[in-house]
Amino acid sequence: MKGRVAALVMAALLVLYIVLVGQRAVALFATGEAVAVGLGVGLVVLPLLGVFALVAEIRFGLATQAIVRELGAADQLPVDDVPRRPSGRYDRAAADEAFPAYREAVEQAPDDYRAWFRLGLAYDACGDRRRARQAIRWAITLRRRGRA
């Protein structure tokens, strides 16, 4: 629930930002000066990139949630028994020790989105967020393609 509230707050702030920046862009366009118009164009383009990034993250989050619900209902989520540090993060050595089983599952079934999703969770537990997101994105892609 916290994630949804945070996403809604970010979306509302982005809309407010776009409105305020849009007003400035219109004022810059109205001057007719080349430099001001160029700045106005920049003020229009940058928020659009922000909107694109926000939409991409929301879609990623929703697709991830759908897979978590599906695997949870089928009792196929990995057991979260890796010890944690006092900070709440996984103990790196223990996570690294549990990781090979998830990598082997992907090697045995490279088209199984569930195995890729669990691998992404394992990468995350090991502290490798970049690879975690890549594996989860691939799991989402495989699921959309209807692969096992």
Please tell me the pTM assigned to this model.
Answer: 0.76
- Rounded CA-CA distance 83/113 in Å is 26
pLDDT in tens, 39-70: 999 998 988 888 898 889 889 999 999 999 99
Distance CA 145, CA 25 (A): 42
Confidence band of 115 (pLDDT split at 50, 70, 90): very high
SS3 84: strand
Two structure tokens written together for 70: 């599906």
CA dihedral 99, 57, 13, 29 (to 10 degrees): 140
Instruction: Say what the alpha-carbon torsion angle 104, 107, 108, 111 is, to the nearest 10 degrees.
Output: 130
pLDDT, averaged across the chain = 89
Alpha-carbon distance of 24 to 120, in angstroms, equals 42
In Å, how far are 26, 35, 84, 121, 122 from 135, measured between CA atoms? 42, 44, 22, 9, 10
Between 21-25, 92-96, 124-128, 130-134, the lowest mean confidence (pLDDT) is in: 92-96
